[in-house]
Amino acid sequence: MRFALIGLKGMAGNMARRLRQQEIEVIGCDEDSDYGKQLAADTGVVATSSVVAALRKLPGDLPKIVWLMLPDNAAVDREIKNLLKRLSFGDIVVDGSHANYRDSQRRGALLSQSGIGFVDAGILDGGNGVERGFCITVGGEREQVNRVKPLLQALAADGGSGWSHVGSVGAGHFARMVHCGVEWSVRQAFNEGFALLQGKTNFSFDLEQVAQTWSKGAMLDGAVLSDEVAILSAESSGCAQLPNFDELRWTAIEAIDQNLSVPAISAALQSAAGGRSS
């Protein structure tokens, strides 16, 4: 199977590595051509200089599959606009970028006017997706999801079963959004716990040391705690950077739209918007 992967950095690079391990042909394209060439040398990805060049390397006798992994909303919209000029009836665009589900619905409707399919993929990496695989929720029409199923199974964790078709266009990104809202509420709980430890000054807790110990087999062990250990380590060296909280904000807005009370998620948003608590 051969498809085009537009955007190769971050999670996309690990996706490409995992797919190449399973001998799936990846035609890659990234604005950073040097990065693309290095990934090609490391994995066997076919690096191209442009989206047009990538499309030319896809089979001419089969519908094309183009998977987007782009850094921001504006970049996805630009690429969708470009692809409308270059794709044909029956081709499929998969968007695995961090997109708002409403934008995915809009993009799917736009592409459908030209007979181009759209699948939105909410991709989560709990740590080392190359070896363990990814958790993926997808939205779209069943026929189009089935067309990209081999890619989803190759990427998915738990022997290829770590993905699901959760609904119509937009549902994949909606499910990812809610997961991220829950993840941030767990981060908030850790923050509050660390604040309690730090406040007990007569013990002089080393927060990173405690978190490291918890990560070795406690009930709270997991990817979020491991991430918190890394954040605490970075804070001690003065170079901490919190994850983007756009999806947390979107989750809170959705709760307002549904008139639902989500106190843990709301507290996490308040904390994230105001900066990391201590």
User: What SS3 class is residue 93?
Assistant: strand
- The span from the first CA to the last CA of the chain, in angstroms, equals 50
Measured in residues, the chain has a length of 278
Instruction: Say how far apart CA 110 and CA 224 lie, in whole Å.
Output: 36
Output the CA torsion 185→153→86→143 (10° steps).
-100
Domains and CATH numbers, the chain: 2-168 (3.40.50.720), 176-274 (1.10.1040.10)
Judge if pTM exceeds 0.95: no
Q: Where are the alpha helices (DSSP H) in the chain?
A: 11-21, 33-43, 51-56, 73-86, 101-112, 129-132, 142-147, 149-155, 157-160, 171-199, 207-214, 223-236, 246-257, 263-274
Q: What is the 3-state secondary structure (H, E, C) of 192-231?
A: HHHHHHHHCCCCCCCHHHHHHHHCCCCCCCCHHHHHHHHH
Type of residue at 158: D
Type of residue at 152: L
Q: What is the 3-state secondary structure (H, E, C) of 102-122?
A: HHHHHHHHHHHCCCCEEEEEE
Digit-by-digit pLDDT tens for the chain (278 residues) are 999 999 999 999 999 999 999 999 999 999 999 999 999 999 999 999 899 999 999 998 899 999 999 999 999 999 999 999 999 999 999 999 999 999 999 999 999 999 999 999 999 987 788 999 999 999 999 999 999 999 999 999 999 999 999 999 999 999 999 999 999 999 999 989 999 999 999 999 999 999 999 989 888 878 888 888 888 888 776 555 566 789 999 999 999 999 999 999 999 999 888 765 43
